[in-house]
Structure 1
Amino acid sequence: MSLLKKANMELMEGNYEKALSLYRQLKQQEPFLSTIINSNIKIAEGRLFQKTGSINEHITSNTHIINTTEENCVNNVSITEKIRVCAIIPGGIKKGEASSYIRIISPLTLGYIKHKVEFDVLEDKYNLSDIIGYNVCIVQRYAVTDYSKAVELVSFLKANNIQLIVDVDDALGNTTRHKNSQYIQNLSKIIKFLLNNAAVNWFSTEKVKNFYKSTCKKQLVIPNALDPRFWPNKFSASQNIEIKDKIKFLYMGTRTHEDDFYSLAYPAFEKLYEKYPDKFEVSVLGGVSTEKENSWLKFIKFSDKNISYYDFMKIMDKLTGYHVGIAPLVDDDFNICKTDIKFLDYLAIGILPVLSELTPYSGEKIGEYSVRVNNNRWFEELCNIIENKNLILDKLKGSRAYVWQERSIESIAIQQIQSMNYSKEIVKNSGLFDQSFYLDEYVDIAKAKVDPILHYCNFGWKENRLPSYKIDVYWYQEEYLQNSIHDINPILHYELIGKKKGYKLKPDYPKLKKKIVLKENPKRICLFAGYDKDGVIDESVIIFIKELSNYCDVYFLSDSQLQDEQIEKLKPYVKGAWAYRHGEYDFGSYKRLAKYHIGWNEIEKYDELLFVNDSSYLINSLDEVFKKMDSKETSWWGMQATKGLYATRNKPSNKFKKEILISKIKENYLKDYFQENLFDFHIGSYFLSFRKNVIKDKKFQNFINNISKQKDKKRLIMKYEIGLTKYLISSGYDFETFMDHLYPFQPVYTNNIYKMIKKGFPFFKRFFLTENHYKEKKLYTWEDELQKLRPSLDIAPIRSNVYRVADASKLYKNLNIDNYGELFTDVEFSELDKKSKVKKGVWIFPVCAYNHGFDDNTRAVFEEVKNDSKIKKIILFRSRHVNVDGTNVEILPLYSKKSQEYLLVSEFLFVKHSPVINIPFPLDDKKHKFINLWHGIPFKRIGVASLDTQSKLDSIINVHNSKCYAVISSSDIDRLAMSASFYPLKYSDIWLTGLPRHDFIIKQESDLPKELRDDICRLNRILDGRKLILYAPTFRNAQKEAYYNFSEEEKKVLYKYLEKNNLVLGIREHMADTSNSYSSQLVNSNVINMGSAKFETIEPIYRKTDLLITDYSSCFVDFMLTNKPMISFAYDYEAYREKERGTFYDLNFVFPGDICDNVEQLIESLQKYHYNGYKPNDSSYFIKKQIFHKFTDGKSSKRIVDCINQIER
């Protein structure tokens, strides 16, 4: 290593004495480097001199910008190292423009962070040697104006291991407003180069980020914020607007926005003056070069045209007497990338912002504290303000707290620092991160063998992972970071700011003094959170909500897509009902109901607020619950308390055996719970009630308002379910529970639940049956136990729901945990198979390996033999419950010992994919005969013939195909295709029988299985006389990325077409599709999800469909049997045919309908069929049908059984 490099390294590491020694030595040896060396000596001397101070102090003294209010904070911090940061800013510290101060200088000169960050400003006329010794170099957007200098800077920073951060706050190059457009275009290229080569990009808005399309891996959107040090008068003043005769409007801005003012606001004010000549006046502060004289308009002059940002802020801080601030923006590419800084400035002044309704002003909070104006309605909105002066005062309520707390530069500073590589050193030195704990707690991190502290700093804190037990991160976030608009690393926040402010790492246990008596005949509101994986509202939920409606105004939100017919079931019992996917579980539904659908102002009118979810089955009236709890003096209550989680069940405080009175818990135990490493006491969140003092608590409201999606259920429980209990108790709110005792473990998930029910507990938890994570025995007796305790209880709705929503295999195991038995290993199974004897007439019917349904060809063959008593029919299910009738039928979990025992003696096994996919045990295919029924007539190439499987031929031939005894086909041509696909099977091994499930399309409705007849009845109710268009696209390997993305305009056209013609569009996505691309894209009252979760088999849908839209899915081959019209929406057919799998047939030759490659053609084709009465328009329809179908008699299943009987003879 060269002496210069070694000296530079010592300087960067903070070893200033060593660096000085080496530089002086080098100066003697290399005189030609004296300029660089002298500069570095100067830096090292300065660093050594300021080792216990901060560069910020000379910024403060030079500019008088940063006052010393924060310097009075207690400084009890022990620091071993600081991050050294420099920023290259045009004009330096004295002449830096607004964005330099707002986005860089202000946050990085906060007094709170001086003990961790040394910050210096370099002017744009910097020398590279000036940067030596810093860890981080920030470049402001205008700072480098020469491309070669940008290249030189990037190379220098990389060579010296200095992290480059580039900050950009608007879309330069996206405007023609600047006089020197060529200069701006060149500057834009330089900015893009710097962004692409930076370690971190900071952008002011998402639009700016998207405009630059940087290739940098770490890109952050850091919104602007206000620095109270620039607003000493406004920050300390109380908000006191007095409106007398005139409303005084203020406009301010730079000259690039002159057109915004004169094209939008000025004409509206001219018109306003005609209507209200003496009711208002307008002042302009900057912003225009042309001053149009007018009696209602005046211009505030600057003494210095080149006024500095600091001097400009002095003027702003002293502005008084105004009521409204306007921010018109013309709708163009430049303006949609702007920030909301004017909104913040106007709130800081204490006046109402009136803003153009464009992207910069689209935030939820912005709408709360401003008036947003459609650019075509400026005059009308200004009239409304003149006529409704109270609007100004109403809108500004709470705005001071928002602008000075939620939009604080503290959170900007922390977000900036946590993006710096060296921030991990702050976390490491904090003593709050325990590496061993982190690796023990999170096995995935240990297995990945990544640096735990690096993982925590980059990902862990965002995922709410615990760094140690020394800090309660969930509580800390709720207590101190609740109002931050940024996500902030709690350890970093504590080290930079919290410690100096005296923040606590964990909550204290206070005395529970806050309690109130409920008035007689209280008014209650209930927020009910639902979820259903199939989008169904079962009778068990309706029973619960109906009972609640006797005591509360009920509002319902489901975290799942529900059809209108499902929501209609609730209408008699609720005040409002909504359903959409948000993925934040029950607490996310509570948040949305309170914050968006009802509003806290409305909720505050009630005496009690209930949070209830559908995880419980109601087994008794709630009358006794409300009678008992109404008499309690308390602030909030629930049904029962729990100490511990399954993960903490072995903690000493969780191992108590006997019930403990809740009153004793509060007196003797609760304080100790707060001292434990992990607080795990909570009141069950499935049924909670809050009284008026809690309801009106803004911190409680913020707790609910800030609920967000969590990475897993455990973190959600810790942060919200336990977190809410912890917040309320630590805030001094007394609580009560309906059950007088605390029971061991989680009593609602153990056999203790029966004791509780005996004492009046009105619920039975679904999770107890579906999970049984405490391994309770004899759970299969649950129905008998409930019936004993509640003889009049109708069990049927509960049973129906459990068996529909539970994982069927898991439920079977949970109920029979006493004698479930361990599975044979593969080795054991193979050995047993060698010795086993096949029993004639044992037929195995495994469910689909993908959607776990018992449908398709397998189900059709079963229906053919279900009443044949000579055949032992074994149905092997996976996650979905199977309910069929028949003689000599047994239904078992695939993964069970009993199913393995039947497999060992089985004669025939009916699979729909391959033997190893449908039967995942090493069964001898020479001994047991696998009949592959497949799942459709292939249009696309499959197996050996597919283009995308050529690299896997050995596996397909030897692992999958060769194990099949026979494969079925539907026509002479299809038999050839299946022979090609299932090599090494011979042509004679391909049975020409027709597809069994096609019988369900052709047979009389009365001959169908009951479930299919029920589906047809359900479809009739949904359609209600409307015609059905079915969209059933094929599977694509790339899933979401490969499916068609409908534009908003295309959706509008499609929805309008459906509405106009009284049509329903049913969406049936492929069974292997996990992205739900179309059902999540196309959301409309005339669009219905007809996926396998809603309708297990597609054949009833075919029977009711008037027209099919597909692409090159083989479902069009099935649909030919209906003799109805179809359209191929094959937007990527060529790519699919050539690159993905290939096809057996030319689509143009065999498809009996229009082939469209864009939405415009699709709508045109739909209209044509509509006017034609939904009749096929292809004269060769029936010829094409014969290519695929030899049989149309509805007897394909019988032909397969006949083939098997011939084998046995």
Structure 2
Amino acid sequence: MEELIAQRRAEVADFRRRWFRFARRWRAASRRDPDEARALVATALAEGLPPVGAADPAPPPDAVQHACARAVVAASGLIDAEEYAVQHRLRRGTDPVRHFVEEGWRSLRTPSLRFDLWWYWVEHLDPTDDAVNPLLHYALRGRHEGLAPLPSPAEPRPPTRLDGQPRRACLFAGYDRDGLVDDTVVAYLAELSRHADVFYLADGVLEPGQLDRLADVTAGAWSVPHGAYDFGSFSLLARDLVGWQRLAAYDEVVLANDSCYLLRGLDDVFAEMNGRAADWWSLQATSMEHDESYKHDDSPIPLAEAKRRFVGPRHWTDDRFLHLSSYFLAFRRPVLDDPGFRWRLDTVTRQEEKRLVIHKYEVGISRYLVDSGFDFDTFLPDLWAFHPLYGRHFFELVERGFPLVKRNYLGENPRHVAGLEHWEERLRHLVPDAPFAAMRTHLERVTSPAMLREAYGARLGEDGRRHIPLRATQGFGLRRLDRETPSFRHWWAFPVSSSGRLDPGMRAVLEEVRDDPSLHKVVLTRGRPLTDDVAGARVTVLPMDTPDGQAAMVRCGLMLADDTPDMAYPFSFPRSRHDYVHVGLGLPVLPHPLGPDGRDWARVEALAACSAGEALVRTAAVPDLDLTRSWVTGLPRHDHLVLAPEHLPADLRAEEQRLRESLDGRPLVVWWTRGPVQPLPADLVAWAREHDVVVGVREPRVDRPDGWTRAMLDLGLPRLVGLSDRAVSSPVPVHRVASAVVTDDDLQAADALVTGVPLLQVTGPGPTSARGIGAALPGEGWAEPTRCPDADAIMDELTKLAVAGFPRREVTVPAGAPRLDGAAARRFVHRLRSLSRR
């Protein structure tokens, strides 16, 4: 592959050099005389681009390249402009040539049925790079070198028959936004392992210890963030982690992913397909040429007939091709040994849109294999209406022995099947032994409440038409709803943060008023179910992005926030109808994100502060926050850090207890970070073993390939725990349990000063550490962290702390500042009530 990719990149580089020079010449000619520019284009189309000398031409501006490319494409006759506009549903007035040149080709918008964009790209250019428009290359170079614009279908090959029981491998792609290996995945892999050697790759950074769950059911398991969806995992497994050389020992290789739940065993599937002659196979085939219909006959078509009808013709959109879906594919030796198949799998790269992953790899590989004469088969003997795993006929498939169900069919219902909320009852009748409890638990964990509401709201009317539930409105519609709906001072909004949890300050304020019947508390969730226990008098929990959530939100006269209003409420509500009050940011830290960053601080009516000094810092940093709007009540977020355990909310107390039990009496050193990974202490592993210390990592984006969690996993610490938002629902238990905190100047880690935990600040290198925690107001009264300029200093300080038993430091506050007495939320709520009575 390395040699071929080098050749393709050389071809791309040479064409670009020629193109840069031509575009500059065209621009100069177009300024002198339009006819001269047209003649230049005609010559290039007739003769191709001449070679360039040793000097590399400078790239022209993008505007010049786009204008020149439009002139070439329009003159080439290779784009059917009118049909392009119709087939790709361009807005009226959009120039088809401009659209194709500037964006259409990158998103695989077919220019005409006479040119196969992706096939040409893969066959003659670099499929990992989008530096060259394939149609432009063909017009100016490819056709002059005899390159074909379309694939030439090969003669059918004799399909492969297996001789006895095959030796089978399975490359399995996983992804979990919470970094977990779910019970449903373990069950699926356990069944696959009965039939194949399973190799698992999760796209992302799994929480420590999660891969251990697969030790008994996989021949290899990895966690690598790559962002290229399931085909990215398949590619990485085949190319690098397992390798083609190892895969050469297998008769059949299955590609599967965790987008499905296993309903029944796979014995019947493999037994059936072992006896079928095919080069590659799947559970079912898909084609929009045979689409689902509520008015016309959409009965299944025998696969042999479907091949005769739908294989061969070119299409304007790739999803109309007959293809096999990537959730379960099996390839036999002739395909696995085919250089074109390997090339396509080896060159999978990250795409901007999921649609491109489907078109380039899922449909693209199917098309290539069909055009190459490889024969396919499916476990279901018929072609069902598109897409059968998402349509109203799915339960018929299960009745016929289909073994899987798509998670997003149950959770998102993309084709709006009526009555899908009864899926468990219907499936239980067909497959009573399926793991329904695990399926529902996983479904509710990974699917937003708003999406579930919409998925289960479709109805079939008496007229046979589907009635789809209303969606949340945006823009003018929402502003109109806000104007026409009265707001009430006793309605308080509590938005959940972007992590899906209530900010500690928000939670403390809610705890103060949760049992007050005079207030209506509206907790607005985002993209995941709320894990906080917020039950109380007149507490309503609603997804923010649903009609019900929006209807309640606009009634709230008081809008609490843990960020600027435009971030806490991604809707444009006028300040005149709602009071926005901020629950506080934390101890003053400079530099910090509170600054002239274009965010909407002007609408904040008031902000909680921990001291007069902090109020001065905030006012100096943001002119929109004048001093009169700072309430020196103390920070509500600190209340749950200093209260005795018995006074904590029950769910936070339980989470703290769970974390303490997992430590089994060992000290916990927390790496609390937001910046890029710095060199880790070389002897951190030996130190952790010697002092029997658990190391925990809390960082905002766990799935970064260059993140601290991944670095710690690679280091091989004896006891490592993940403490991110996805693993621990609140930072409060982490603060309360930590024995020491190592930070690179993270704003939330400053709360550790409130608990008295030893705080080690990484001070270099890098601009974020130029001034540290407490440096904003030196000597004001807050305890200072211990500054560590390098990894050796961190280890020296950690060793001192370990020897001394990680002693807590004295907690001090500035003179005149509110005490850390667990009553900041009470003082803050008192001010809120005064605001509400205005």
Q: What is the TM-score of this pair, normalised by structure 2?
A: 0.80
- TM-superposed CA distance for 1:909, in Å, is 3.9
Asked whether 1:933 is paired with 2:564, we answer no
- TM-superposed CA distance for 1:619, in Å, is 1.6
Asked whether 1:995 is paired with 2:635, we answer yes
Name the CA shift for 1:675/1:867 in 2 (closer, same or farther; >3 Å).
Answer: closer
Pairing 1:677-692 to 2, within 5 Å after superposition: 680-692=321-333
Asked whether 1:813 is paired with 2:454, we answer yes
Taking the aligned partners of 2:630 and 2:137, their CA distance within structure 1 comes to 69
Q: Secondary structure at the match of 2:214?
A: coil
Name the CA shift for 1:689/1:1101 in 2 (closer, same or farther; >3 Å).
Answer: same
For the Cα contact (< 8 Å) 2:288–2:319, is it kept in 1? no
Asked whether 1:789 is paired with 2:430, we answer yes
Asked whether 1:845 is paired with 2:494, we answer yes
Taking the aligned partners of 1:1166 and 1:972, their CA distance within structure 2 comes to 34
Name the CA shift for 1:1072/1:791 in 2 (closer, same or farther; >3 Å).
Answer: closer
- TM-superposed CA distance for 1:792, in Å, is 3.5
Q: Equivalent residue for 1:597?
A: 241
Q: Equivalent residue for 1:1190?
A: 818
Q: Equivalent residue for 2:539?
A: 889
Name which of 36, 40, 58 aligns with 1:199.
Answer: 58
Q: Equivalent residue for 1:432?
A: 78
Range with greater deviation from structure 2 (741-750 or 986-995) = 986-995
Name which of 731, 753, 772 aligns with 1:1098.
Answer: 731
Counterpart AA for 2:58: A
Range with greater deviation from structure 2 (658-667 or 974-983) = 974-983
Q: Equivalent residue for 2:346?
A: 705
Q: Equivalent residue for 1:579?
A: 223
- TM-superposed CA distance for 1:1094, in Å, is 3.0
For the Cα contact (< 8 Å) 2:634–2:824, is it kept in 1? yes
Matched residue count: 791
Taking the aligned partners of 2:158 and 2:672, their CA distance within structure 1 comes to 59
Asked whether 1:1068 is paired with 2:698, we answer yes
- TM-superposed CA distance for 1:1001, in Å, is 2.4
Taking the aligned partners of 1:1100 and 1:695, their CA distance within structure 2 comes to 51
- TM-superposed CA distance for 1:668, in Å, is 3.7
Q: Equivalent residue for 1:505?
A: 149
Counterpart AA for 1:81: T
Name which of 209, 213, 219 aligns with 1:569.
Answer: 213
Taking the aligned partners of 1:916 and 1:948, their CA distance within structure 2 comes to 14
1:46-89 CA-to-partner distances (Å, cap 9, x unmatched) read xxxxxxxxxxxxxxxxxxxxxxxxxxxxxxxxx95259xxxxxx
Counterpart AA for 1:706: T
Pairing 1:441-840 to 2, within 5 Å after superposition: 452=98, 455=101, 466-479=110-123, 490-491=134-135, 494=138, 499=143, 503-509=147-153, 512-644=156-288, 657-672=298-313, 680-817=321-458, 818=467, 820-821=469-470, 823=472
Q: Secondary structure at the match of 1:748?
A: coil
Counterpart AA for 1:1126: L
Asked whether 1:81 is paired with 2:43, we answer yes
Q: Equivalent residue for 1:1119?
A: 752
- TM-superposed CA distance for 1:661, in Å, is 1.5
1:534-584 CA-to-partner distances (Å, cap 9, x unmatched) read 211111111111111121111101111113410011111111101111222
Name which of 549, 553, 557 aligns with 1:903.
Answer: 553
Name which of 1134, 1149, 1155 aligns with 2:787.
Answer: 1155
For the Cα contact (< 8 Å) 1:942–1:1141, is it kept in 2? no
Name the CA shift for 1:720/1:933 in 2 (closer, same or farther; >3 Å).
Answer: same
1:825-872 CA-to-partner distances (Å, cap 9, x unmatched) read 776766766775666854432212x43422322223334444556654
1:682-724 CA-to-partner distances (Å, cap 9, x unmatched) read 1121011122332333433333223222332222111110112
Name the CA shift for 1:810/1:450 in 2 (closer, same or farther; >3 Å).
Answer: same
Asked whether 1:116 is paired with 2:48, we answer yes
Range with greater deviation from structure 2 (739-748 or 675-684) = 675-684
Q: Secondary structure at the match of 1:948?
A: coil
Asked whether 1:859 is paired with 2:507, we answer yes
1:1020-1070 CA-to-partner distances (Å, cap 9, x unmatched) read 577576543323346xxxxxxxx45635xx565666765666555544335
Taking the aligned partners of 2:61 and 2:686, their CA distance within structure 1 comes to 42
Counterpart AA for 1:612: A
Taking the aligned partners of 1:526 and 1:1013, their CA distance within structure 2 comes to 43
1:1143-1175 CA-to-partner distances (Å, cap 9, x unmatched) read 751389744232234445444433443444333
Taking the aligned partners of 1:634 and 1:1110, their CA distance within structure 2 comes to 57
Asked whether 1:1084 is paired with 2:715, we answer yes
Counterpart AA for 2:507: R
Q: Equivalent residue for 1:42?
A: none
Taking the aligned partners of 2:793 and 2:783, their CA distance within structure 1 comes to 16
Taking the aligned partners of 1:1006 and 1:686, their CA distance within structure 2 comes to 49
Name which of 1131, 1134, 1138 aligns with 2:764.
Answer: 1131
Name the CA shift for 1:472/1:1148 in 2 (closer, same or farther; >3 Å).
Answer: farther
Q: What is the TM-score of this pair, normalised by structure 1?
A: 0.57
Asked whether 1:880 is paired with 2:528, we answer yes
Taking the aligned partners of 1:838 and 1:115, their CA distance within structure 2 comes to 71
- TM-superposed CA distance for 1:1124, in Å, is 1.7
Counterpart AA for 2:274: D
For the Cα contact (< 8 Å) 1:1003–1:1194, is it kept in 2? yes
Whose Rg is larger?
1
Counterpart AA for 1:553: D
- TM-superposed CA distance for 1:482, in Å, is 8.0
Q: Secondary structure at the match of 1:520?
A: coil
Range with greater deviation from structure 2 (751-760 or 614-623) = 751-760
Name the CA shift for 1:977/1:568 in 2 (closer, same or farther; >3 Å).
Answer: same
RMSD: 4.9
Q: Secondary structure at the match of 1:751?
A: coil
1:154-181 CA-to-partner distances (Å, cap 9, x unmatched) read xxxxxxxxxxx34xxxxxxxxxxxxxxx
Taking the aligned partners of 2:206 and 2:177, their CA distance within structure 1 comes to 10
Taking the aligned partners of 1:1143 and 1:449, their CA distance within structure 2 comes to 57
- TM-superposed CA distance for 1:937, in Å, is 3.6
Name the CA shift for 1:740/1:536 in 2 (closer, same or farther; >3 Å).
Answer: same
Name the CA shift for 1:625/1:830 in 2 (closer, same or farther; >3 Å).
Answer: closer
Range with greater deviation from structure 2 (1160-1169 or 823-832) = 823-832
For the Cα contact (< 8 Å) 2:667–2:738, is it kept in 1? yes
Gaps of 5+ in 2: 1-21, 27-40, 459-466
Counterpart AA for 2:48: K
Name the CA shift for 1:1199/1:751 in 2 (closer, same or farther; >3 Å).
Answer: farther
Q: Equivalent residue for 1:956?
A: 601
Q: Secondary structure at the match of 1:747?
A: coil
1:8-55 CA-to-partner distances (Å, cap 9, x unmatched) read x9xx89xxxxxxxxxxxxxxxxxxxxxxxxxxxxxxxxxxxxxxxxxx
Taking the aligned partners of 1:824 and 1:491, their CA distance within structure 2 comes to 40
Counterpart AA for 2:243: G
- TM-superposed CA distance for 1:920, in Å, is 4.9
- TM-superposed CA distance for 1:1011, in Å, is 4.9
Taking the aligned partners of 2:375 and 2:187, their CA distance within structure 1 comes to 31
For the Cα contact (< 8 Å) 1:941–1:1142, is it kept in 2? no
Taking the aligned partners of 1:1064 and 1:450, their CA distance within structure 2 comes to 60
Name the CA shift for 1:445/1:1106 in 2 (closer, same or farther; >3 Å).
Answer: farther
For the Cα contact (< 8 Å) 1:970–1:1188, is it kept in 2? no
Taking the aligned partners of 1:793 and 1:540, their CA distance within structure 2 comes to 10
Bigger RCO (CA 8 Å, 6+ sep): 2
More helix by share: 1
